[in-house]
Amino acid sequence: MKALEHFRTITHHRHLVMKGCFAVGLYWQGLTHDLSKYSWVEFSVGAKYYQGYKSPNNAEREDKGLSYAWLHHKGRNKHHFEYWIDYSLDGDNHMKGMEMPVKYVVEMYVDRVAACKNYQKEAYTDASALEYYEKGRAKYMMHPNTAALLEDMLHYLAKHGEKATNEYIRKEILHNKK
């Protein structure tokens, strides 16, 4: 039964992301978003640790000390800022967030909104994704320009709503910047 519920959850999430990506003109990204969640390494973990109100990857971390599903997922999906973490060429050889292409930052925004809708259900508001982002922002290893763009979209959503934000993204952010 957990496998079926997990399948429903990830499929509903993909449909929400697809709708959001289509609304801003990112059709291919909408169609291909999170397909790796149906791979065995990710799906089996999701089915085993399914809870229905948050990602099962945290439960895998608690059980095993790391999440194999997450490591697989972030390495294949460019809309996660973790995909873009690399060694710095600044001479210190520290890991740092690299600047993401705009279309992936927009997909990351859509993904965060969809995740909040999926897990918060009726409690979701246009401020939900911003509030969730702000809770974890201090831990993110994200390039400053990437963070600024994501924050701009999240603040715009909280202030103006989803329809106006989609129009803003289409006309002001993605226009000639894909």
**Which residue shows structure tokens 């809770």?**
135
Q: Residue 93: what pLDDT?
A: 72
Residue 109 within a domain: yes
| Residue 63 pLDDT | 95
Ranges in the chain, pLDDT < 70 = 176-178
Residue 154 domain flag? yes
Q: Would you state the pLDDT for residue 135?
A: 93
Residue 136 belongs to some domain of the structure: yes
At 176 the pLDDT is 67
Residue 136 to residue 163: CA distance in whole angstroms: 26
Judge whether 57 and 67 are in contact, CB under 8 Å. Answer: yes
State how many domains the chain has.
1
Q: For residue 118, give its domain range.
A: 2-173
Host H or E run for residue 60: helix 57-64
- What pLDDT, on a 0 to 100 scale, did the predictor assign at position 48? 96
In this prediction, residue 165 carries a pLDDT of: 98
Residue 130 CA to residue 150 CA, distance in Å, equals 9
| Residue 178 domain flag | no
First to last CA, the chain: 41
pTM of full prediction above 0.85:
yes
